[in-house]
Amino acid sequence: MADNPLNAVNRGVYISDNLPFLKSLNDGCIDLVCIDPPFAKNETFGRKNEKSPDPLKPPLTRDEEQAELDLLKRWGINSPAEATAKGIDWPETAYKDFWSWQRDVHSEWIRDIEDDHPGVHKLIEATREIHSDATAAYLCYMAVRLFEIRRVLRDTGSLYLHCDHTAGAYLRQLLDAIFGNGADNGPGFRNEINWRSTTAHSDSKRFGANTETILFYSRSEHWHWQKLFQDYDAKHLARFRFKDADGRLWQDDNLTAKGLSGGGYRYEYKGVDSLWRVPISTMEELDRQGRLHFTSTGGIRRKRYLDESQGRPVQQLWDDINPLNSQSAERTGYPTQKPVALAERIIRASCPEGGVVLDCFAGCAYVAVAAERLGRCWVACDINPRAWTVFARQFDKPKLVRLRCAEPAYNHRGRQASFLDETVYVYGPEELPMDTIRIDADLPSPLPVPPASIFTKDEMLEALLDLSDYESWCCGFANRMSNGDVVRTLNNFHLDHLDPKSKGGDDEIFNRVPMCPHHNTRKNTRRVYLDDYRQEIADSGELLVANVADLVDLRWAAGQVREIWFRKRAALPSQMDFRGRTYVLRK
């Protein structure tokens, strides 16, 4: 994927559902994504209800509260209902980490995942079977966002995703399916980092759960990487027990090659005959530099100076970055806030100087603060307007960083003006980046793919289910109430192909069929016609009607579908625009 310029505003905070925000970004414009999404904990974090105190520290002032209301008013939002209609939350220092398949999963997400990412679809369906609908709903929510995150990353880009034991194993499988498992140093998985997030836990009947996980994935096999080092601990420093006349501390190190595979160099040096690790020329050079230590027992060892050591390479166990405490200067009271030092380590390792950092779950601002302190460009997005209050506070702390936070000015044509000053700007749900550059990675050239049908997938499914009174065409499954009445909903139906694509079937409505999730998943990628599959279902005793004849008649349905298609086509012009190109529609 070619790199593209960032089409969002540097130092821009976007108050929006992050899915439309991500979809508005250019392909390949981000160097590093660092996110701390919900953990699927089945809890409310922060303010539990209207009677409980707001956890923001210090408490929210009247001026801050009024500033939030004024901001929402400028975006045409005057009530919680209007905020929901715009796709954002009403300002609150809290978020609900509960998940429901019926409430949180959009039917178009499932159909897009099923058609474009069958492996991910199988994982989600398996999670519903093995764990719960709630965890599967969470994975579905994350999947559609992770597809977009992968798209907006540059080829050298990386993702760091914060999670814990609740859904970490499922997220690891999901990320492997989307980014790759990193086998043979290929794209995808790089590390499962364990961060000691609390000093100790006294959990009943199990070991204390005092760590959280950061999953590190790369967009390709050519990811940016800067090796990092950390200070030695006291135990290691104690090894440097010798001191030269100039005060330099050193420890002695072995120079013999005895016991090493691959052999060494056999020779005598200053009366000591041995198998050495270095050739005699190197030994002589070390001696000239005063880096040899002649022991009292007649041995020769090498001096290793403390001031020449970079430190210990950072491992995937991070126990040297402390969690925030109540006295921390960066503490906001925002639930699940992480320390800036955590994001600083990630940015130093995986974002080049001048690169762009994205946090699209940015409620506590820690990633943006870290990026600003390290001189990187950054963009943030959060669904809750309270995040803007937190940003304004964090960027007004001398111990962190000082920048002015303001609403953007607009030029006389109503477009966002360009800014050169050091200011953080906030944008609403209808002020997302424009002129998005998208390149289909499956094509050899940057030409967009023409639409597969004049119908959307939801329109197809609705029209086809209407022909069968909202029963699946494979076995007669329907969403029924306790009294037997059929609920006319698209939920729990999959849109499959009548004739397999491997046998010449296309994606137009003539060749689509509503299936139940169970039989569509079981069919998998088998090259089987629906007539044959119906009989197979009947033979296994899984029909939900008396016999195959009670299912919708496929020949009759085919004629009805043609009439539906011709009526829709007659109402459309002879051509249509799609992703900036004009296509002549099929007649």
Q: Over the stretch 192-210, which tens digit does the pLDDT of each residue have?
A: 999 999 887 777 788 888 9
Question: Mean pLDDT highest for which of 219-223, 457-461, 527-531?
Answer: 219-223
> What per-residue confidence (pLDDT) applies to 342?
97
Give the pLDDT band (50/70/90) at residue 51. low
Select from 102, 170, 227, 188 the least CA-distant residue to 487. Answer: 102
Which ranges of 62-106 would DSSP assign to H, the alpha helix? 62-74, 80-85, 101-104
SS (H, E, C) 44-74: EEECCCCCCCCCCCCCCCHHHHHHHHHHHHH
pLDDT of 301 higher than 60: yes
pLDDT of 336 higher than 90: no
> What per-residue confidence (pLDDT) applies to 2?
62
> What per-residue confidence (pLDDT) applies to 584?
46
- Mean pLDDT value of segment 143-170: 96
What does the DSSP 8-state code read for residue 568?
A: H
> What per-residue confidence (pLDDT) applies to 555?
87
- Show the tokens assigned to 73: 């008013």
Lowest mean pLDDT among 41-50, 147-156, 218-227: 41-50
- Show the tokens assigned to 543: 């029909």
CATH 1.10.30 fits 457-561, yes or no: yes
> What per-residue confidence (pLDDT) applies to 449?
41
> What per-residue confidence (pLDDT) applies to 405?
78
pLDDT of 166 higher than 50: yes
> What per-residue confidence (pLDDT) applies to 343?
97
Architecture of the domain whose range is 12-95+150-204+317-427: 3-Layer(aba) Sandwich (3.40)
Give the pLDDT band (50/70/90) at residue 309. confident
* 246: three-class secondary structure by DSSP: coil
pLDDT of 41 higher than 70: yes
Top pLDDT among 89 and 334 is at 89
What does the DSSP 8-state code read for residue 289?
A: T
> What per-residue confidence (pLDDT) applies to 120?
95
Give the pLDDT band (50/70/90) at residue 302. very high
- Check: CB of residue 544 under 8 Å from CB of residue 475: yes
pLDDT > 90: percent of the chain? 58
pTM of structure: 0.75
Q: How far apart, in whole angstroms, are the C-alpha atoms of residue 148 and residue 438? A: 11
Lowest mean pLDDT among 82-91, 97-106, 451-460: 451-460
Q: How far apart, in whole angstroms, are the C-alpha atoms of residue 581 and residue 410? A: 30
> What per-residue confidence (pLDDT) applies to 558?
87
Q: How far apart, in whole angstroms, are the C-alpha atoms of residue 180 and residue 231? A: 33
Peptide bond into 385 cis (omega under 30): no
- Show the tokens assigned to 540: 């296994």
Q: How far apart, in whole angstroms, are the C-alpha atoms of residue 468 and residue 453? A: 21
> What per-residue confidence (pLDDT) applies to 47?
64
* 481: three-class secondary structure by DSSP: coil
Give the pLDDT band (50/70/90) at residue 579. very low
> What per-residue confidence (pLDDT) applies to 581?
44
> What per-residue confidence (pLDDT) applies to 49?
63
Give the pLDDT band (50/70/90) at residue 155. very high
Q: How far apart, in whole angstroms, are the C-alpha atoms of residue 279 and residue 44? A: 65
pLDDT of 577 higher than 90: no
pLDDT of 571 higher than 70: yes
On the question of a common fold for 12-95+150-204+317-427 and 457-561, the answer reads no
Top pLDDT among 91 and 94 is at 91
Q: How far apart, in whole angstroms, are the C-alpha atoms of residue 410 and residue 413? A: 8
pLDDT of 415 higher than 70: no
Question: Mean pLDDT highest for which of 232-241, 353-362, 501-510?
Answer: 353-362
* Summary mean pLDDT of the chain: 86
The answer to whether the Cα torsion of 453, 455, 459, 463 is positive or negative is: negative
Give the pLDDT band (50/70/90) at residue 483. confident
Give the pLDDT band (50/70/90) at residue 525. low
- Mean pLDDT value of segment 427-432: 93
> What per-residue confidence (pLDDT) applies to 448?
39
Q: How far apart, in whole angstroms, are the C-alpha atoms of residue 71 and residue 388? A: 10
Domain boundaries, the chain: 12-95+150-204+317-427, 230-312, 457-561
